[in-house]
Structure 1
Amino acid sequence: MGNEDGGDKTRRVVFVTVGTTSFDALVRAMDSEHVKKELLAKGYTNLLIQMGRGSFLPTKSEREGSLAVDYFTFSSSIADHLRSASLVISHAGSGSIFETLRLRKQLIVVVNEDLMDNHQSELADELANRKHLYCASPHTLHQTISDMDLNSLLPYTPGDATPVANHINRFLGFPDD
């Protein structure tokens, strides 16, 4: 029997990771009322942000009826955080992307538009085209969350990296194998 008054709310965690980098634009976007409102509307209860080397500090919150927000800089392993997450929002680092997809977690990749020659965006775009994840920028993140249909995402099979690698190699000017 479910709790009719909604008092026994299931914990649904959004885990955000920037890896070892500084990506204040993503942390700032996660701290915005627009993004928090969209996550709350989608039924998420907790937001945990791994902020790396960034200097922007998000607002911690534990108010009733709002998203519970916490953050940290680094962890020896983010695997436990990834495993317990209902949704992962990540920078476009290939390690973070593939670790999340291997765990079959729903994923939004946010591309750092401030990086020059951002080859990471090519990987994120290709995996988004294959419907394994959603891709956004810090400025479009709230709209991506609002519009996303996580049931439309397809599981990633670790054996299918060759087409993605070939696509990246073609983009970089290397011949296919």
Structure 2
Amino acid sequence: MDFKEKRLFVTVGTTQFSKLIETIQQDEILYKLSSMGFKEIQFQVGTGKYEQKEHQVLKLKYTPFFDDFLGEVTKSDLVISHAGAGTCLEVLHTGKPLIVVINEDLMDNHQSELAEQLQSDEYLYFCTCNELVETLDKNLKSLRKYPKPNKQNFSNYLNKCMGFA
């Protein structure tokens, strides 16, 4: 049994995704998170409109934006995020487990394609707001670590193209 007090970081990026905030504030989700050992939820709420809630067991904190986004990710045990490519990749590079929630209200939602591929590669789980409680039941420890970037790839490719390699 893991008795460590866990911290969840929820981020919607720089946009509005109030539906994600409202979904996580639902009693069913908060109960589930509490039963998983979470004691604190830090919401990064962007520019959306939402009602701040309080909870008897969980400490709920709300902030529009963070100067040290990666610091917030690093001190968390799980990240639940919108499907923005930059956010997904930043979180995956930290090695933290990630659940991506698709914003179904977006037109031409290309973000779902990225989330589907990253789930297919077993780096994260993705869902909609309506599927979040079921997704929380998945084995987060089975997710693969995202590979570190090879910073030499581009220069190697360029050298090959120029005939230097």
Number of residue-to-residue matches in the alignment:
149
- In structure 2, what is the Cα distance between the partners aligned to 1:94 and 1:60? 31
- In structure 2, what is the Cα distance between the partners aligned to 1:58 and 1:148? 28
Offset, 1:112: 0.3
Q: Counterpart of 2:101? A: 110
Q: Secondary structure of the equivalent of 1:70? A: strand
Q: Counterpart of 1:169? A: none
Q: Secondary structure of the equivalent of 1:139? A: helix
Deviations 1:88-112 (A, max 9, x none): 0000001110000000000000000
Do the aligned partners of 2:4 and 2:37 also contact (CA within 8 Å) in 1?
Answer: no
Which of 64, 74, 78 is equivalent to 1:83? 74
5+ residue gaps, structure 1, are 1-5, 161-177
- In structure 1, what is the Cα distance between the partners aligned to 2:5 and 2:141? 19
Q: Counterpart of 1:41? A: 35
Offset, 1:77: 2.6
- In structure 2, what is the Cα distance between the partners aligned to 1:102 and 1:108? 14
Identity %: 37
Residue correspondence of structure 1 range 117-156 to structure 2 within 5 A: 117-145=108-136, 147-156=137-146
Which of 22, 25, 29 is equivalent to 2:19? 25
- In structure 1, what is the Cα distance between the partners aligned to 2:125 and 2:90? 15
Deviations 1:108-145 (A, max 9, x none): 00000000111100000110111100101111111111
Do the aligned partners of 1:111 and 1:135 also contact (CA within 8 Å) in 2?
Answer: yes
- TM-score under structure 2 normalisation? 0.85
Q: Secondary structure of the equivalent of 2:52? A: coil
| Residue 51 in structure 1 maps to residue 45 in structure 2 | yes
Q: Counterpart of 2:86? A: 95
- TM-score under structure 1 normalisation? 0.80
- In structure 2, what is the Cα distance between the partners aligned to 1:37 and 1:131? 27
Offset, 1:159: 4.0
Amino acid aligned to 1:155: K
Structure 1 stretches of 4+ with a deviation exceeding 6 A read none
- In structure 1, what is the Cα distance between the partners aligned to 2:54 and 2:27? 13
Offset, 1:45: 1.2
Q: Counterpart of 1:13? A: 7
Q: What do you get for the CA RMSD once the two structures are aligned?
A: 1.6
Q: Secondary structure of the equivalent of 2:79? A: strand
Larger Rg, first or second structure (1 or 2): 2
| Residue 68 in structure 1 maps to residue 59 in structure 2 | yes
- In structure 1, what is the Cα distance between the partners aligned to 2:149 and 2:66? 28
